[in-house]
Amino acid sequence: MFFYYILLISEQLRANEMKCPRCNEDLTVDLIKEKRYSITVNNCSKCGGAWFASGELAKIEKIVEPTFVEFYDLPSEEEQLKALFCPSCANSPLMQKEDHPRDERVVIDFCPVCKGVWLDKGELEAIQKENWVKSLGRIFKGLIGV
């Protein structure tokens, strides 16, 4: 039990030292609790971006909100393609970029070392929202086994 508290305090201190890779502001720590999981997200109050430690994004990106019209505010392609450095690793390696499989307009930044993921403002919403037609098509494909 004592080790758990030390680990928790250590994690909190490390999180408080993290800087936003986009605007260099201090990241704040938020806990998202759901019935089946809880995750820690480090948010930037200035630019609206969020840092997810390895495996944390996978827990919530599967949540899909069907909508008639997909409308969300994403950074420009130029902004999304700027080089960013990992806020979590001690040596701050350059993060790699990849289009998200659910929405190719979302360019995620991930650290090749710690496997953490940076999402800019609006990107999580874009990943989680899906047009009704796409949702129904995905469900239909799942039903027929394609």
Domain boundaries, the chain: 2-144
Q: How confident is the prediction for the chain on average, in pLDDT?
A: 79
pLDDT at 109: 96
CA 127, CA 130: separation in Å to the nearest integer? 8
| Tens digit of each residue's pLDDT (9 = 90 or more) over 100-145 | 887 778 899 999 999 999 999 989 888 877 654 554 555 556 667 6
**Main-chain phi, psi angles of 57, to 5 degrees:** -65, -35
Label residue 6 by pLDDT band (50, 70, 90).
very low
pLDDT at 35: 77
CA 89, CA 67: separation in Å to the nearest integer? 37
Cα dihedral angle (65, 101, 121, 45), rounded to 10 degrees?
100
The mean per-residue pLDDT over the stretch 9-18 comes to 54
pLDDT at 141: 62
pTM of the model: 0.73
